[in-house]
Amino acid sequence: MADSIFPGIETHKGGHYAVLDAGAHVLAWTPRGQNPVLWVSPLAVFAPGTAVRGGIPVVFPWFGAGPSGDRRPSHGFARTAAWRRTAVTNDLATSGRLEVRHALDASGLDATGLDSEPFEAELVSEFTAGQLAVSLVVRNPGPGAFRYEEALHTYLAVSDVGAVSVDGLSGCTYLDKVAGAAAVQDGPVRFTGETDRIYRHTAEVVVDDPDWGRRIAVGKQGSANTVVWNPGREKGTALADVGPNWPGFVCIEAGNVGDDAIELAPGEEHILTQTVRLS
């Protein structure tokens, strides 16, 4: 693939790195010789105002339908907003590192976000051959408290969701959104149907994919919750931008949602970071 400037795909020694300006949406991190690490649906729609199915959607300032269940669009306005690309540091030719920064504040919102409290958000995407690191920095420039939910809704590409397992969550409590009940994880997570869980968990998980002979380590900082999601056959097939491709991904999301929402006093900031490595 030819070298190109953003938005688009940057290539380096056969690897592919990409982040869109729309939504500050990381779309590709593919080290040389690997299958893509991030899944993007073959049926994804790339159109203004439409959330892209795959990559790393930025969930902010609410998760799902929000704490009271009445917020639209799903997962907040940030993932379809027009972020400003503020800096690109392209050291691929020397150190093999690429960093892209995007910013969003209330002035960049369309009608869906206009009732927002004042905020300043920054998305920092750092690509190297060994690691992808994404940070969502949120500051409160206003005179009152600012409370928000957030997540980096990372779609990881896998050989087949039914053949992978997720280590690192055993012993953690979680809200099972399919059963509508709380539970405690016992051993690795395996996917035998629709899986939609919000764990209380602050550390690393590893997605073990023996069929592709790889393990994806997903680390984080500044996050009280790990969300694990795959819609399963029935719901996945019903999603127009997923369809028969539902077995090809697992979402591992770093976030702060529900009771773990972040509250910033005036002048405060919070940084949520997620890292992805192959191990």
CB-based contacts of 79-82 (< 8 A; 24+ apart in sequence): 79/23, 79/25, 79/51, 79/52, 79/153, 80/22, 80/23, 80/48, 80/49, 80/50, 80/51, 81/22, 81/23, 81/108, 81/109, 81/110, 81/113, 82/21, 82/22, 82/108
Nearest distance, CB of residue 75 and ligand TA6, angstroms:
5
* 74 sits near ligand TA6 (criterion: CB under 6 A): yes
Q: Which amino acid is at 26?
A: V
Residue with Cβ nearer ligand TA6 (75 or 220): 75
In whole angstroms, how far apart are CA 49 and each of 46, 77, 192, 198? 9, 9, 33, 27
Nearest distance, CB of residue 35 and ligand TA6, angstroms:
23
* 238 sits near ligand TA6 (criterion: CB under 6 A): no
Binding-residue pattern over the window 9 to 48 for ligand TA6, x denoting contact by CB under 6 A: ----------------------------------------
* 227 sits near ligand TA6 (criterion: CB under 6 A): yes
Nearest distance, CB of residue 54 and ligand TA6, angstroms:
10
* 101 sits near ligand TA6 (criterion: CB under 6 A): no
* 229 sits near ligand TA6 (criterion: CB under 6 A): yes
Q: Rule CB under 6 A: choose which of 16, 196, 216, 274 binds ligand TA6.
A: 196
Residue with Cβ nearer ligand TA6 (153 or 277): 153
Nearest distance, CB of residue 4 and ligand TA6, angstroms:
27
Side-chain-facing half-sphere of 66: CA atoms under 13 Å: 13
Nearest distance, CB of residue 128 and ligand TA6, angstroms:
27
Residue with Cβ nearer ligand TA6 (11 or 154): 154
- State the number of binding residues for ligand TA6 (CB under 6 A): 11
Strand partners, 154: 252
Q: Which residue has the tokens 């997620």?
A: 274
* 218 sits near ligand TA6 (criterion: CB under 6 A): no
- Where helices occur in the chain by DSSP H, the ranges are 232-238
User: Measured over all CA atoms, what is the biggest interatomic distance in the chain, rounded to whole angstroms?
Assistant: 53
The pair of structure tokens assigned to 236 is 């996945």
Residues 166-185 that bind ligand TA6 (CB under 6 A): 177
Residue 238: helix, strand or coil by DSSP? Answer: helix
* 201 sits near ligand TA6 (criterion: CB under 6 A): no
Q: Closest Cα to residue 169, out of 121, 193, 123, 203? A: 203
Q: Rule CB under 6 A: choose which of 16, 75, 101, 201 binds ligand TA6.
A: 75
**What is the distance between the alpha carbons of residues 132 and 96, in angstroms, rounded to a whole number?**
12
Our separate counts of H helices and E strands in the chain read: 1, 21
Q: Closest Cα to residue 267, out of 182, 144, 163? A: 144
Nearest distance, CB of residue 79 and ligand TA6, angstroms:
8
Nearest distance, CB of residue 247 and ligand TA6, angstroms:
16
* 149 sits near ligand TA6 (criterion: CB under 6 A): no
Binding site for ligand TA6 (CB under 6 A): 51, 64, 74-75, 153, 177, 196, 227, 229, 251, 253
